[in-house]
Amino acid sequence: MPTKEEVWKPLIDSLADVLQGVLGKSVTMTLGDEIAPSAIESDLGKVFYASYNLSGDLSGSAAIILRGEDALNIANLMLQVFGMMAATLEDDMVVSTLAELANQMISAFTNTMAGTYGKTSEIEPVDNQILSIEEIPDNLKYFSITMDIEGIGNTTMYIGLSPEVVDIIDSFASSPQAEEPAPAPATGASGSGAAPAPAPAGGATGPTDFVSGKVARGAEGVQEVDFAPLQPADNVRPYPENLDLLLDVNVTISVEIGRTKMTLRELLSLGEGSIIQLDKLAGEPMNVLVNGKVIARGEVVVIDESFGVRILEIVDKRERLMNV
């Protein structure tokens, strides 16, 4: 009979696999204890909270929680491939990025539940938001998950699940061992009572027979299979070229005509008709910024009655990274 740790391990490993694939860094996760919502800590006093409704075999609610500074660090690791970096947890770009990550995580969790234990479910995203730790809902059971992320170190995330969902998962660790029928004694021509080899256990093999790649129950003498080491494929694209996870992240594009500095006295003296001289010469390209970072330069054009910008130059990737 598998232990509770063995039952939960493939589910937690699926979360680590998602984060490792997104960051391109080594990630390990370990399930901790169940904790009360009031025990969740965050250095910024806030957390990223993604909530979901589950229907099907797993019916209830689920949530992914990332602590304040950890959430910001993870989001910036994901965004740095664009040469961008957010300064605050409340940045819309951070929330959108972490929402995509949480969606991938909860999908991996339920897919593993279906593949390993035969319990399928449909996922409906409810909300993605920044909450203070006092606002964390108390209708779920929360479990701490210790994460060791290359380049960040030890951090903590939390997964919240409805009590009925937790009961279903835990039931695989407390299911009674299936009883095998006793073999009937053989009767030969001489009436000998010699017993033949035991027949296979009755009943179909269910998903609970395997936990994290190891046999959890079954016939005696079954041995764990040793697989040959996997070799990297030549045609696999290295991460950061795979940006599918971030394609739906919203960003703000702005065009900068120019800049200048003035004293507070000069600022207060401005009035209608005042002219502010900028650092750009007439005809010079304008800076195109994404979330405050220069990514291109272009010229202003008029389309019908609206202003637009024609891209003349894409800023070199090295320059974008230096501007982070």
- Whether 163 and 300 map to the same domain: the answer is no
State the CATH number of the domain containing residue 305.
2.30.330.10
State the CATH number of the domain containing residue 16.
3.40.1550.10
Domain boundary pick from 126, 153, 174: 174
Residues of the chain with pLDDT under 70: 1, 174-246, 317-324
Residue at 218 is within a domain: no
Residue at 42 is within a domain: yes
Residue at 224 is within a domain: no
CA–CA dist 279, 101 (Å, integer): 41
Residue at 236 is within a domain: no
Structure tokens at 99: 């929402």
Number of domains composing the chain: 2
Residue at 210 is within a domain: no
CA–CA dist 22, 24 (Å, integer): 6
Instruction: Please report the pLDDT score of residue 284 as a whole number.
Output: 83
- Whether 162 and 18 map to the same domain: the answer is yes
- Whether 34 and 169 map to the same domain: the answer is yes
- Whether 40 and 144 map to the same domain: the answer is yes
Please name every residue paired with 293 in a beta bridge, in sequence order, or none if there are none. Answer: 290
26-48 residue pLDDT tens: 999 999 999 999 999 888 899 99
CA atoms within 13 A on the CB side of 179: 2
Instruction: Please report the pLDDT score of residue 244 as a whole number.
Output: 66
Residue at 295 is within a domain: yes
Structure tokens at 315: 């800023």
Strand order in the sheet with 27-35: 27-35, 141-149, 153-161, 60-67, 46-56, 121-132
Residue 175 three-state SS = coil
CA atoms within 13 A on the CB side of 27: 22
- Whether 266 and 167 map to the same domain: the answer is no
- Whether 169 and 276 map to the same domain: the answer is no
- Whether 12 and 149 map to the same domain: the answer is yes
The CA-based dihedral angle spanning residues 215, 112, 145, 123, taken in that order and rounded to the nearest 10 degrees:
-160
Domain boundary pick from 146, 174, 202: 174
- Whether 9 and 148 map to the same domain: the answer is yes
- Whether 8 and 118 map to the same domain: the answer is yes
Residue keyed to tokens 């190891």: 214
- Whether 136 and 16 map to the same domain: the answer is yes
Q: For residue 285, which amino acid is it? A: P
Residue at 197 is within a domain: no
Cα separation values, 281 from 278, 284, 286, 288, Å: 8, 6, 10, 16
Q: For residue 122, which amino acid is it? A: E
Q: What is the largest CA-CA distance in the chain?
A: 120
- Whether 10 and 148 map to the same domain: the answer is yes
Cβ burial of 51 (10 Å; 0-12, 13-18, 19+) is buried
- Whether 129 and 275 map to the same domain: the answer is no
Residue at 279 is within a domain: yes
Domain membership of residue 285 as a residue range: 252-322
Helix intervals (H) in the chain? 4-23, 68-79, 92-117, 163-174, 264-268, 317-322
Domain boundary pick from 130, 152, 174: 174
DSSP strand pairing (253-256 vs 153-161): unpaired
Work out whether the CA dihedral 198, 202, 205, 211 comes out positive or negative.
negative
Instruction: Please report the pLDDT score of residue 71 as a whole number.
Output: 92
DSSP string, 33-62: EEE-GGG---TTSEEEEEEEEEEESS-EEE
